[in-house]
Structure 1
């Protein structure tokens, strides 16, 4: 409480009116901190003058808008989605590669077994079958005679013969040779025997080809030629 006749003071001994204005007849004090505040420094907010009857409230920083937050959250969500998709794709590729590797390893023994089988088959010695024996000529005669032609398909054949000179009255000869038509130089002896009678088999190796027998004897005789007979 103060006397009604006393002027209120601003705290520094200077009387002032209730309205905050200087008393009548006194010039206002420009530059006073209480009236206009100090001039702000560079980069600082200006200080608002403090009313003597109201508390001072410092200036509040501007609030960020909701749009900025929405954009920021959208960017973060898109980035997380890209990362998740990339990880899922990498796991799928790794699984496919592992499956392919497993299939290849499992198939390897079969391939190796097949190669081993082929190699064993290749290295196995070839078995040669003996040609089937086939009688290609059977003939009987007496005296001098040439037989009909016969064909030898293999390299070996045999000529079996018999002779008997009983009808001649004494011992005789039996001579036989293999001849080839159109080749006068070809002459392969079969027999040159002498006696009352006899028999034998001669093995020849000048086939294949077409041949005939030339027989010279006073006796009765028989001849059989077998193709593929090598003894």
Structure 2
């Protein structure tokens, strides 16, 4: 009887372990604070660009991958974007989403995504090569770190400059939050490298960034994994 009981308990234990192996908990489930929805990328890269709407279809780019979510970041679907080109911007023009593969300008100055390479007609699920027959390819550009509202207020990534050493004229450029031309400063719950900002049609702010950081400058390192982070303001800011 004792042997049968032991065998039954062992079987249940192994079944439980097997279930745990079959149903791992993803480390990119969304979270939230009082002011922010916090989404994590499905791969180990920073979020570079954003398009769409978190209440509908939201599209993000991480290096040379593009993903969509229709359930506010709980699950992600990979688009069929292929190529060696990194994606630094997602430019929406009516029903067409355009992937931009290069940047122009340097932080902390104005920085733009340029060079259209592929386009999508279904918010990023399927992609085709962007064929430039009218000379527009190099004219298209999308601001990455600044956004000017209809009333003229500019939202921009705020940077700090930290000397590499006490005797050096070189310095680290670090992003510390969002500032406006009206003097407002918006801070985030965590420390990140901020890559781009975006506003949806409902005036909510999206901030594309790296994974959380536990140090900057000489002490730079990721903490809690390397999956990029996307912040979405719960309330409209414009």
TM-score, normalised on structure 2? 0.24
The structure that has the greater radius of gyration is 1
TM-score, normalised on structure 1? 0.25
Instruction: Write 1 or 2 for the structure with the bigger share of strand.
Output: 2
